[in-house]
Amino acid sequence: MTAGAVAELLESELFVTKGCVHGAHARQRGRIELADGGTFFLDEGGAGAWLQAKLLRVLQEKQFERVGGRQVVEADVRWVAATNRNLAQMVQEGTFRGDSTIACRCSPCSCRPARSARDIGPLADHLIRRIGVSLGRPDLT
């Protein structure tokens, strides 16, 4: 799948409208609209500059237009985004909008991969025991 096709698919998932998705006969609500009043987690969006602009509008103005629509839709959404990419480098390369990092109040947080942690096994065992006890099934482990 090409990068352009991925971006179009992402846009239709976020800002869907009637007839936008193959086989859609009734108006559907996109992910942004469904998250209204809640939190939206965007993981490795891979959005192009034009889609970043639409996301920025939702973030700043709390509104958007559905794909293929002309009506403005209000959406009060709290955003959490994650990436393993270097955003500062992407801004320099022109693949990520600099105004997005300012508007998002990006706070880089680096952490080691979970696969490198030696305490994951004991932590998982502990959590399984606690869940088992709370469910009345201490034999889960």
Residues 7 and 64 in one domain: yes
What pLDDT digit, counting tens, does each position of 95-119 carry? 777 777 666 666 667 777 777 888 8
Average pLDDT rounded to a whole number, residues 3-29: 66
Supply the pLDDT for residue 86. Answer: 79
> How confident is the model over 1-28, as a mean pLDDT?
66
Domain check: are 122 and 62 in the same one?
no
Residue 31: which of 67, 69, 84 has the closest Cα? 67
**Structure confidence at residue 128 (pLDDT):** 92
Pick from 54, 59, 49: which is nearest to 13 by CA?
Answer: 54
- Domain range for 126: 113-141
Measure the CA–CA gap between 16 and 67, rounded to whole angstroms: 6
Q: Identify whether residues 126 and 85 lie together within a single domain.
A: no
Q: Do 46 and 77 reside in the same domain of the chain?
A: yes
Query: Structure pTM?
Result: 0.57
Query: How many domains does the chain divide into?
Result: 2
> Which stretch of 19-33, 41-55, 91-105 has the lowest confidence by average pLDDT?
19-33
